[in-house]
Structure 1
Amino acid sequence: MTDLRLTAVQLSEPGSGPLLVLGPSLGTSVEALWAPVVSRLADSFHLVGWDLPGHGRSEAPAGSFSVADLTAAVLDVVDRAAGPGARFAYAGDSLGGAVGLQLLLDAPDRVTSAAALCTGAKIGTQESWAERAEQVRASGTPRMVEGSAKRWFAPGFIERQPERATAVLHSLQEADAEGYALACEALAAFDVRDRLGEIAAPVLAVAGALDQPTPPASLAEIADGVQAGRLVVLDDVAHLAPAENPDAVAALLQVHLQTTDADRHASGMTVRRAVLGDAHVDRANAGITDLTREFQDMITRYAWGEIWTRPGLERRDRSLITMTALVALGHHEELAMHVRAARRNGLSVDEIKEVLLQTAIYCGVPAANTAFRIATQALADEE
């Protein structure tokens, strides 16, 4: 392992908006990969990129490094570009996306939200990366161009967009072979699948429908594993979404990264009142203390502003799921609250009964017996 110092690449003027840091894919420079998106976002964000060791503007590494080492070096890039401790949004493709996940784990207080494109919590196998590293050390990065072109781009893209494809492939051809090989070895050791649940910041996972190295299932694992994730699959896109479909990527980043905590709190409070009722929320707000204030803000922003506002399930479906989970875990006070919420979300008393009967089989009769007692009282109180 060695200390890394990556080059900070200013992609737009400071002061043009909130800070957005962009990360490259293995074998690309951040400018070649993200240029089509930068032209669409330069008026909305202060855009700063970084290049992998031996790629683009960054010098070749002096020794091996890990994805965690890259993460620390990216934080140094941000400190130099925007000031020590600056907070930022992040978007990265492939290895750049893996660095984004590591940033969310290692520096959760610095990253406001993130987009992980064409990446994974684990990418490939140790054997495949070792083989790739051996190939590039033996033959150089120009040898990788033909195979990378097939992996990176959807069929017909090179013919439709020769300038974009040429710029990206040229950056691969110029990359330092040892820097590329060491990045392969960093990816071989990277695996944060068992830590995704620690990530609380909102994460947009963008998959290419035709991506072979990191297929949509890889991005779905991220979206499902983090606390506040969303999956988008782009048609006719392979592994380099920023180059292949910059219009869609720019539009997705505009919406996802410019949604502020205040926005989430406001939308979360609206849904929370609609589901739980004004009286309940008013009582909860009246009981807020210095000890509980940040906790109440967190559940309003993330539980209600991120999860209950998602379009994938109707609110009545979320009520069914929530009641079942609360019975299974024995959260009785919350169960009473969500029985009443289920009625507001359109469930009938008979439907609530069916949920509790189902829990008798899968959660146990004693748990269901307690749940029926709590539900009976909650429904009587509601009437």
Structure 2
Amino acid sequence: MTVPTITAARLTGAAHRAELPLLVLGPSLGSSASTLWTRCAMSGLTEVFDVVAWDLPGHGYNHAVPDGSFTVAELAEGVLRVLDDVLEQRGEVGGGRGGSFAYAGDSVGGAVGLQLLLDHPDRVTSAVLLCTGARIGEPAMWEGRLGQVSVSGTSVMVAGSAERWFAPGFLDEHPETGSALLHALADADDRGYAQVCEALAGFDVRHRLGEVAAPVLAVAGAHDVATPPANLQEIADGVQQGRYVELPDVAHLAPAEAPETVARLVRAHVLGEEPEPPAEAPAPAAATAAGERYDAGMAVRREVLGDAHVDRATAAATPLTEDFQRFITEYAWGGIWTRPGLDRRSRSMITLTALIARGHHEELAMHVRAARTNGLDDEEIKEVILQSAIYCGVPDANTAFRIAQQVLSELDATPPGGDR
């Protein structure tokens, strides 16, 4: 049995999240948890749930790719293992107890949700399954895709995915969202992507749908050709407590295409809330764009700097400084750090160099920590500072080495799971 390593990201701030019910979000093939779910999570989920989103092997921040193949059932076991770590932090597992959670997943993330409902019915309280199926595609189709990726890598999938993933007009209206999702696909590890394809080729639980007892909401995209509405209707009809919803202007990535609508559906299904009626008039386009940038920026800021730092900065805001806090979240983190043109490792190296050059020592310490989070090791941080010694000055580099040594020593002394 091959149980792949899964990584998870907490999208809800540290303050009071243990008091909220746990909601787990699953990705689609070729996407990362943050690119697919962040806007949806920030549209009303993080205020009522402790939200955890997980990444597939070789996708997003999950750089672990197993040597052998795995099934969707084994993928679900990997997800459950990382969730047990989260539940242990919440004090909900151990001593014979197995904590429970609500689940929402798109595409292969939905398939994993179905597998968890079947294999661990006592763990999943309710599920929202989006743009997925009890079987997805035909084995021959997955074999053909495996051949393409093995020859040309995941970048060969970008053009076709741009057509399959989004409803007509979406890329023109939301180019930044579409670009980030397609960039995540191009960045996915070829082997990890191929292994998920292989797992989906062998996935078929249509004959077991009647075993699912937990309440299930099946959400289809009207324009979805990868997992057409009939797939979701089959799930809703087959499980014991199923309901079906079809979204008219959505294709395959509902959480990214219709984030506010999906957030309302998840809240209504999991918490029993009445769905909110649509607003009488839409917000001005400029206000909507600013809000989206802020939500995306806050998610990235938390991922890079850690919940504890962001919570402290937010709590310390005063009437004098709160507009500045919003400004840096929206424009620095939401306008720059979310751009697809550079990965976060590169942005960390650029930021370290700029802070050394300008002598911003407090910010430098913060971004040394962030560099570790973004995947730089100590040797790479050393090389950045050495490069800065030539172009910024030896005294600046000397101070930078002192600050970096202190920060890295503190990080190495922090126990696993400690405050970042």
Deviation at 1:147, TM superposition (A): 0.4
Deviation at 1:61, TM superposition (A): 2.4
Equivalent in 222, 242, 247 of residue 260 of structure 2: 247
Which runs of 5 or more residues in structure 1 are unaligned? 264-383
C-alpha separation in 2, matches of 1:174 and 1:62: 19
- Report SS of the residue matched to 2:127: strand
Deviation at 1:62, TM superposition (A): 2.1
C-alpha separation in 2, matches of 1:163 and 1:76: 33
Deviation at 1:259, TM superposition (A): 2.9
C-alpha separation in 1, matches of 2:247 and 2:116: 25
C-alpha separation in 1, matches of 2:237 and 2:53: 27
Deviation at 1:163, TM superposition (A): 1.3
User: Which contiguous aligned blocks of 4+ residues in structure 1 show a shift greater than 2 angstroms?
Assistant: 13-16
Equivalent pair of 1:23/1:96 in contact (CA under 8 Å): yes
Deviation track 1:143-187 (CA, whole Å, cap 9, x = no partner) reads: 110101100001110110111111111110100011101100100
Equivalent in 94, 99, 105 of residue 92 of structure 1: 105
- Report SS of the residue matched to 1:50: strand
- AA aligned to 1:10 is R
Correspondence 1:145-294 to 2 at 5 A: 145-259=158-272
Equivalent pair of 1:16/1:44 in contact (CA under 8 Å): no
C-alpha separation in 2, matches of 1:105 and 1:22: 17
- Report SS of the residue matched to 2:233: helix
Q: TM-score, normalised by structure 1?
A: 0.67
Please name the residue that 1:102 is paired with.
115
Equivalent in 126, 129, 149 of residue 116 of structure 1: 129
Please name the residue that 2:74 is paired with.
69
1:31 correspondence with 2:34: yes
C-alpha separation in 2, matches of 1:61 and 1:139: 20
Please name the residue that 1:48 is paired with.
52
- What root-mean-square deviation, in Å, do the aligned CA atoms of Structure 1 and Structure 2 show? 1.4
Please name the residue that 1:378 is paired with.
none
1:3 correspondence with 2:21: no
Please name the residue that 2:374 is paired with.
none
C-alpha separation in 2, matches of 1:123 and 1:135: 18
Deviation track 1:7-63 (CA, whole Å, cap 9, x = no partner) reads: 121111333621000000000001100011111111110000111110011122221
C-alpha separation in 2, matches of 1:142 and 1:46: 34
- Report SS of the residue matched to 1:86: coil
Equivalent pair of 1:16/1:42 in contact (CA under 8 Å): no
Q: TM-score, normalised by structure 2?
A: 0.61
C-alpha separation in 1, matches of 2:30 and 2:269: 27
Equivalent pair of 2:158/2:182 in contact (CA under 8 Å): yes
- Report SS of the residue matched to 2:121: coil
- Report SS of the residue matched to 2:128: strand
- AA aligned to 2:169 is G
Equivalent in 11, 18, 21 of residue 18 of structure 1: 21
- Report SS of the residue matched to 2:118: helix
Deviation at 1:2, TM superposition (A): 2.4
Equivalent pair of 2:59/2:192 in contact (CA under 8 Å): yes
The structure with more radius of gyration = 1
Equivalent pair of 1:154/1:236 in contact (CA under 8 Å): yes
C-alpha separation in 1, matches of 2:162 and 2:74: 28
Equivalent pair of 2:5/2:65 in contact (CA under 8 Å): no
